Amino acid sequence: MSEHAPQRVGLIGWPVEHSVSPAMHNAAFQALGLDWWYTLLPTPPGEIASTLAQLRGQRYRGANVTVPHKEAVMAFLDEVESSARTIGAVNTVVVREGRLLGYNTDAPGFLAALQAAGFEPKGSRALVLGAGGAARAVVYALVQAGSTIVLYNRTPQRALELVHHAQGMGGSVTSIASLDSLEPELADFNLLVNATSVGMWPQGNVSPWPETLSLPSHWTVFDLVYNPAETRLLAQARAAGAPAIGGLEMLVQQGALAFELWTGQSPPLEVMRAAARESLARSQQAPVEPALRQDADVATP
């Protein structure tokens, strides 16, 4: 290995072929004159340990972690930062002196994107769709911000597990078995967050919100899916007159926090944002086999 080889970071997930994170981070490295390179580390289920072994090499400084590994990766790390341990999911790994340290930048990235859009979560009542790693980060962020949360997941047991976990954080969190059951209470909510992959490209005409159920105009709707940029759920929100937030800004914000953890330098946010948008625009123009669809297109790496 050349001593002048670039430092590396990567993206661990399955699959990862069409993430915009490489373009976003490599543009940031170039802007700051850093000899670093962001690469893809496709990791099938069951092969996390072997991929993490690569990170202990001298050239790797860390990695992002995306589905389906955000929860499973924790068992293979040397240390997990306290908030990531509380969340129960890791999306950023830092390599320090051969040790693998786990962090979660999804939660603060979500809050930063939400507040940048002008929504103050304190005192809000939120409906969160999903119960995976992204939903865990969203629920943690909203609990910390003082929101009351109702959780829906198509597998009720997964939702109940997250409810119990969140209640252990001191959060006011409950779950429901169906969205239709909420119809009499819709006016009591003011935030809807889609933390599932429903509506992700190439199935952008699908929404996690039933067409038969009204969507109140006073809600703020945040779809963590960033590809396509305009999801069916966001279109439903705009048609109802509700403020709509896409997932790309959360992707940028969580990525910026990971960048700082790896490099110790302040990230060039505008460079990252522009590169992410350009990469996303290119990916939407190119024909891709549906089999390559990835949950990384939720607003995580």
Catalytic machinery residues? 70
Q: Which own/partner contact pairs does 53-60 have at CB distance under 8 Å and 24+ positions apart? A: 55/10, 55/93, 55/95, 55/100, 56/95, 56/98, 56/100, 58/1, 59/1, 59/5, 59/6, 59/7, 59/8, 60/7, 60/8, 60/9, 60/10, 60/95
* Tokens 């051969």, residue located: 98
Which amino acid belongs to residue 250?
Answer: M
Of 218, 163, 226, the closest CA to residue 24 belongs to 226
| Inter-residue contact 101 to 56 (CB < 8 Å) | no
Which amino acid belongs to residue 300?
Answer: T
Distance of CA 142 to the CA centre of its chain: 14
Question: What whole-number distance in Å separates Cα of residue 174 and Cα of residue 159?
Answer: 9
Q: What angle do CA 247, 36, 110 make, to 5 degrees?
A: 20
Dihedral angle over CA of 129, 134, 137, 140, nearest 10: 20
| Inter-residue contact 125 to 189 (CB < 8 Å) | yes
